[in-house]
Structure 1
Amino acid sequence: MKTKNKQNYKDSKIYLIGSGIAGLASAVYLEKDVGVPGENIHILEKDLIAGGATDGAGDKDTGFVVRGGRMHEMHYECYWELLSHIPSLEDPNISVRDESYEFNQRFVSNGQARLLKEGKKLDVSSYGLSFKQQADFIKLTYVSESSLGDKRIEDWFEQSFFETKFWFIWSSMFAFQKWSSLAEMRRYMKRFIHLVDGLQRLGGVMRTKYNQYDSVVRPMKKYLEEKGVKFEMGKEVVDIDFNLSADKITATVIHLKNKTEIVLRENDFVFFTNGSITESTDNGSWDTPAKLKGVEESGAWTLWKKIAKKDPSFGNPNPFCDNINLQKWYSFTATMKDSTFLDYMENFSGNVDGTGGLVTMTDSNWLMSIVIARQPHFPNQPNDVKIFWGYGLYPDRKGNYIDKTMAECSGAEILEELYYHLKIQKLMAPITEAGKVNCIPVAMPFIDSLFMPRNMGDRPDVIPSGSTNFAFLGQFAEAPKDCVFTVEYSVRTAQMAVYGLFDSGKKVHPMYESTHNPKYLLAALKAISR
C-alpha cells in the first residue's frame, strides 16, 4: 500500500461517494486528523438529503417518517469518540456525545412490556431455552467464523428455538430472521454478550435526544460545512475507472450520471459507501400502500455491481441484493394530533415515552413491533402531536385482522391491525374518525441485506490489497469482529479507511470485547438458563 507524504495532504482532493454516517465520519477524520482542507473534501450524494439510513423528516400536517432507528450502547467506542468533537445544534457548548449521555441518564431503557400475546404482557423473566438450545447458543460463540461459511441461523438451531421468548426478543430487537447469516448472529452474540442479561427489558440500550437525522446528521453536516466541506447533492456516481496492475489498484476516473467525469490526480482519493440498506425505499400514505422497488432504482447497488466485475478484491454484492423477498421488511410511522394512544400505552406498559423501547406482538402474523420514543422525537414536533414508529418482519403474510399482506396495506390498515392486537379498536375509533391520525408505511427492499448469508470476501476489505487511493466504507465493507446494522460499524470503517491510507499518527479504536470479561460471561450464562 502506498504511503502518502504529509506535505501532499493539503493538495489532495478526496471524493466521498455517499453521505451516510460512514462518509460523514470520514470527512471529519480527514479534516481533523489528517489536515486535508475542508474545501478539498467533496461528498457526492445522489439524493437531495444527507444521512443515508440515519434519517427522519416530516411535519405535523403531512406526517413524520422515520424509516428505522439505530439503537446505541455505551461501548460504541468509535461512534461516541467521533460525536465528542461535534457541537450540539441546541447548545454548541456541549458535544452531541454529551447531549446524548445526558439524555440517556434521564431516560433509561427498562421495557416492561417487551413481548405481548393477545394484547397482554408476557412474562419474560425466562428466555424459555431448553438445555440443548442453551448448549447450541454457547457452542456458537466458540466456533470460528470461517467454519460457518454462508450457513443460515436455521442450520444451527432446532426448529423449536424459533418459538422461544429469547428468539422473539432477539429477532425483533436486531431484525434477524431464521434465514439470516449464522456468522452475523455469532458476531452479535460475542459483541453484545454484556447486554444478554438485560435483553428482555432492553437494558443498556441508548438513544439520541431526537431522531438520528436531527441529533447526529444535521450537527455533523453543519460542522463539516463550517470547515468548508462541499456537499454535492443530486450527484450520482455511475462508474469508476481503475488502473489495475499486478500489485496496485488506483482509481483514475469517477463517472457521474450527467455524463460528466472527475479525473483523479496523483494525490486524489475516492471512498465509496458500497451498498445501502435504505436504497430504493418508497413511502405509502394513509390511503395507499408503499411500493416495492429493486436494484434497478438503486444507485449504490448498481455501482457496486459494476465495479465488482473489475477486480475480485472489490467483493461480491450479489448475496446482499439479489434476493429481495428475504431481505425486505416494512416500517411505518404514525403521527397523532391526540395523546390517547400514548396515554394508553403508558398506562398499559408502565413506561413513560422514551423508556420502553420495542413492544413486540408475538402472535402477529407480521411479527409487528412498535417503539414509542421520547416525545418530541423531532425538533419541529408540536407538544400536542405524538408520533411512534413500528415495523413488521414478515410483510408477505396476511394480517390476523386485515385480510391483506402487510405489503398490500395502507397506513390506515396497518394501524387497524395494530389496534386489533392491542385490543384498543373501540378506544381509537373516535380518533381515527376525527382525522387526528396519519400513518405512513415504508417499503424497504434491502433493509436486511446486511444479514444475508455470505462467504468471506463477499464484503471487500475497507482498503483492498494494493490500493493506492481507494477505500470502501459502511455496512458492506469488512470490519472484522464488529457488527453490521450499527452506526459503530460505519464509523469504524471510516477510521480504517482514513487511518489506513493516510499517515495521520492515529490508530483505529479497539473494539470492546465483553467476551473477555468473566463477569459478563457469567451473567449471560445465568440469563439464558433462567
Structure 2
Amino acid sequence: MKNNKDRDLSKAKVYLIGSGIASLASALYLEKDAGVLGKNIYILEKDNIPGGALDGAGEREKGFVVRGGRMHEIHYECYWELLSHIPSLEDESISVRDESFEFNERFVSNGQARLLKEGKKIDVSSYGLSLKQQSDFLKLTFVAEESLGNKRIMDWFDADFFETNFWYIWTSMFAFQKWSSLAEMRRYMKRFIHLVDGLYKLGGVMRTKYNQYDSVVRPMKKYLEQKGVQFQMGNEVIDIDIDIDIATDIKTATVIHLKNKSEIVLGENDYVFITNGSITESTDNGSWDTPAKLKGMTESGSWMLWKKLAAKDKTFGNPSPFCDNIDLQKWYSFTATMYDSTFQDYMENFSGNVDGTGGLVTMTDSNWLMSIVIARQPHFPNQADDVKIFWGYGLYPDRKGNFINKTMAECTGAEMLEELYYHLKIQDLMMPITEAGKVNCIPVAMPFVDSLFMPRKPGDRPDVIPAGATNFAFLGQFAEAPKDCVFTVEYSVRTAQMAVYNLFDTDKEVHPMYDSAHNPKYLLRAIKAIHR
C-alpha cells in the first residue's frame, strides 16, 4: 500500500521505535530512497546505546562483553547492499561492505575443531545421519510450510537424530533447540542449502572486522547523524494509539506515548515504524565473582509494547508464543578477557586454526552444551595487543556442570571458565593465569534470545505492513518476511526494505532472496553431504 501520494514528504516525520539494525536500515532508506529529510527521522530508543543485538563494549580494566556475534554469508543481498553505502570508520574511502569482504578474503572460516568430546576433536567428515534421517531431512525441505503449523523439530525427527554430528553442528551454530519451530528449521534448510556441504567446518561463514557494534552500528550511526537523523536515547515508547475504522478496516497510528509521560501526536504526513519484540531485552551482566540475574517481562520495553498493540487488532500479531516461555527461550553467554596469550596459544596449537578462522568449537559432552568462538584479534578497536578475547555460550543453562556442581545460570564468570577448562583438559595450564589475575570473564543472562525460534502459527508474526495500515509498519525479527530466516541481520534489513519500499513511492524494489534451494548444483552437493 503506497499511500503517500497526497502527503508532503518535505514535512513528513518518521518515528522509528528501537535502534536495532532494522531501524538503522529504515532510516537510511527513508532518507536516501523515499525523500524524507534526515532531520525529520527520529530514532526512539529505551537504552542509552544503539544497535540492539549488534553489540560490543568494554575496556581493558573492566573487561569486554559481547552478548553474541552474528554470522554472515555472501548472499545476504539486503544487508551487504545496505553496508555498501556506509563508509568505514577507519577508512572513509571504502564502505563497510568492502572492508568486510576484504577481511573475509584474508581470514577464511575453516574450522578444524568443530566438535569435541573428552577434550579431543571429533571426526565430523560424516554428519552421521541414518537413511531414515536423511529421508526426513529431504522431506522437510520440500513440504509446504503451512502444513507444519506450530510443530517442533522433535515432532519430525527420531530421538537418535539429536545425537548425530549434524544436530550438534546445527544446534550450536544456529541455537535451535529440540523444541524449536520446525517451520523455522525448514526455512533455514532451504535458505542455506548452499552451505550444507561445508557446514561441518563453517565453510562460507563471514564476519565483520571487529565486533558488530564497532564494525556496523557505529559507522551507521555516524552516517545517519551526518544526514540529520536524530537519535533520542533513553526514550521508551510504552503505547501507540491506533485508530481503526470498523467499516473500512483502515488503520492509522495517531499518538505515540512515552514512559516520561509525554506524547507525540502524529500529523497527516507522519509515520511510525515499530520494532516489535527483541532477543536482547532484559539481559543482565554478571561479573568475575557474581552470576548474571535472570530478568523477564517486567523489565522489557518492546515485549510489553507489542502486547499492548496486539490487544488492539489481530493483524498486529500474537507475541505470547515468543515471550511467555522464558525457560525454553533463555541461554547464557560469557566473554573472557585474557591479559595473557596462554589460552589462545593453546587453542591455536590444539585446533590448527589461527584466531578468526576457526569459529565455533562445541563441547558435545558438556551438560550445558557449551561452545566458544575465538574471533580475529583485536575484536575491539581499543583492545591492546597483549589482551585476548573470546566468547562462549551454553544452550542448557539449567543443567549442572560436569565439573562445577551448579547450573550455568548460577555460575560466576570464574566458574564458567573453570567448567570450560575442565572440558578442554587444561585446568593445570590455566591455573597460574587465573591465580595471577590475568583473566576476567563476564557472564550474561539472555531471557529472550531464542524467542524467535519458538513454535508459532501463521499470523503470530504480523505482516510488515498489516492489512489496512496507512502510516505504520512493523520491523525486525518478529515481523513476517516470507521465506527468509530469523536470527540473521539479513532478515531485519529485509523488513526495513519492505516497510520503506511499500509505504513510500520509490523506484526501488525489495532485493530478491538468493534461491539456492532451486539450484541443482547446490541440491546435489547437499544430498551428497548428508549421505556422507
Q: How does 1:511-522 map to 2 (within 5 A)?
A: 511-522=513-524
CA distance in structure 2 between the partners assigned to 1:365 and 1:7 by the alignment: 58
Distance apart, 1:505 and its partner CA: 1.3
Per the alignment, residue 375 of structure 2 pairs with 373
Q: Distance in 2 between matches of 1:488 and 1:222?
A: 21
1:102 paired to 2:102: yes
- Residue aligning to 1:470: 472
Give 1:269's aligned residue. Answer: 271
Q: Deviations over 1:382-438 (max 9, x none)?
A: 000000000000000000000000000000000000000000000000000000000
**Cα pair distance change 1:89/1:6, threshold 3 Å:** farther
Cα distance in 2 between the residues matched to 1:8 and 1:214: 36
Match runs of 1:335-484 below 5 Å: 335-484=337-486
Give, as a single letter, the amino acid of the residue that structure 1 aligns with 2:211.
N
Q: For 2:301 and 2:250, locate their aligned partners in 1 and report how far apart those are by CA, in whole Å.
A: 27
DSSP-derived class of the 1:255 partner: strand
Matched AA of 1:409: C
Aligned pairs (5 A) from 1:210-359: 210-245=210-245, 246-359=248-361
- Cα deviation, residue 5, structure 1: 2.1
**Residues in 2 aligned to 1:237 and 1:528: alpha-carbon distance in whole angstroms:** 47
Alpha carbons 1:327, 1:452 under 8 Å: kept = yes
Secondary structure of 2:469 counterpart:
coil
CA–CA distance in structure 1, aligned partners of residues 120 and 439 of structure 2: 24
**Residue type of the partner of 2:475?**
L
- Deviation of residue 7 (structure 1)? 6.5
Q: Aligned partners of 1:10, 1:351: CA distance in 2, in Å?
A: 54
Mapped contact 2:2–2:505 kept (Cα < 8 A): no
Contact 2:2 2:504 in 1 (8 A): no
Determine what percentage of the aligned residue pairs are the same residue. Answer: 82
Tell me which residue corresponds to 1:117.
117
CA contact (8 A) 2:7 2:269 kept: no
Give deviations 1:187-235, integer Å, cap 9, x for gaps. Answer: 0000000000000000000000000000000000000000000000000
Question: Does the CA-based 8 Å contact 1:6-1:503 persist in structure 2?
Answer: no
TM-aligned CA deviation for residue 513 of structure 1: 1.1
For the 8 Å contact 1:46–1:235, the answer to whether it is kept is: yes
| Structure-2 residue corresponding to 1:11 | 11
Matched, 1:492 2:494: yes
User: Is 1:183 the counterpart of 2:183 in the alignment?
Assistant: yes
- For the residue of structure 2 that corresponds to 1:128, the secondary structure is coil
Counterpart residue type for residue 54 of structure 1: L
Q: CA deviation at 1:247?
A: 2.4
Cα deviation code 1:68-98 (max 9, x no counterpart): 0000000000000000000000000000000
Tell me the equivalent position of 1:162: 162
Could you tell me whether the CA contact under 8 Å between 1:151 and 1:453 is conserved in 2?
yes
- Give the AA of the match of 1:397: R
Letter in 1 for 2:446: M
Deviations 1:242-293 (A, max 9, x none): 1101321100000000110000000100000000000000000000000000
User: What is the match of residue 63 of structure 1?
Assistant: 63
- Asked if the contact 1:282–1:290 (Cα under 8 Å) also holds between the matched residues in 2, the reply is yes
Offset of 1:99 from its aligned partner? Answer: 0.1
C-alpha separation between the residues in 1 aligned to 2:100 and 2:349? 27
Partner AA of 2:235 in structure 1: K
Matches within 5 A, 1:36-75: 36-75=36-75
- Cα distance, 1:10 vs. partner? 1.4
Deviation at 1:301, TM superposition (A): 0.2
Instruction: Tell me which amino acid in the other structure corresponds to 2:207.
Output: R
Once residues 181 and 34 of structure 2 are traced to their aligned partners in structure 1, the CA distance between those partners, rounded to angstroms, is 36
In structure 2, distance between residues paired with 1:270 and 1:521: 42
Cα deviation for residue 142 of structure 1 reads 0.7
For 2:220, what is the secondary structure of its paired residue? Answer: helix
Q: State the 1:3 CA deviation.
A: 1.6
Alpha carbons 2:46, 2:301 under 8 Å: kept:
yes
Displacement of 1:110 in angstroms is: 0.1
Whole-angstrom CA distance in 2 between matches of 1:251 and 1:424:
58
Distance in 1 (alpha carbons) for counterparts of 2:300 and 2:5:
37
Separation (CA, whole Å) in 1 of partners of 2:107 and 2:528:
27
Matched to 1:58, the amino acid is G
Cα deviation for residue 35 of structure 1 reads 1.3
Amino acid at match of 1:282: D
The Cα offsets for residues 473-517 of structure 1, whole Å up to 9 and x where unpaired, read as 000000000000000000000000000100011100000010111
**SS across alignment from 2:443:** strand
1:8 Cα deviation from its structure 2 partner? 1.4
- Deviation of 1:469 after TM superposition, in Å, equals 0.2
Residues 274-317 of structure 1: per-residue CA shift (max 9 Å, x gap): 00000000000000000000011000000000110000000000
Distance 2:436 2:304 in 1: 45
Equivalent in the alignment of 1:85: 85
Distance 1:233 1:114 in 2: 40
Indicate if the aligned counterparts of 1:2 and 1:467 stay in contact, CA closer than 8 A.
Answer: no
Cα contact 1:319–1:454 (8 A) shared by 2: yes
Counterpart of 1:21?
A: 21
Q: How many corresponding residue pairs?
A: 530
Cα shift at 1:2: 5.3
**Structure 2: any 5+ residue segments left out of the alignment?**
none
Q: Is the 8 A contact 2:87 2:94 kept in 1?
A: yes
Q: 1:352 to 1:6 in 2, by over 3 A?
A: farther
- Structure 1 residue runs of 5 or longer lacking an equivalent are none
Partner Cα distance (1:2, 1:429) in 2: 63
Residue type of the alignment partner of 1:146: E
1:304-339: CA deviations, max 9, x gaps? 001100000000000000000000000000000000
Equivalent pair of 2:141/2:186 in contact (CA under 8 Å): yes
Relative to structure 1, the CA distance from residue 298 to residue 7 in structure 2 (aligned partners, 3 Å threshold; closer, same or farther) is: closer
What letter corresponds to residue 499 of structure 1 in structure 2?
Y
Report the Cα distance in structure 1 between the residues aligned to 2:285 and 2:230, rounded to whole angstroms.
29
Kindly indicate whether residue 146 of structure 2 is the aligned counterpart of residue 137 of structure 1.
no
* Structure 1 Cα separation of the partners of residues 505 and 2 of structure 2: 10
The one-letter amino acid of 1:96's match is V
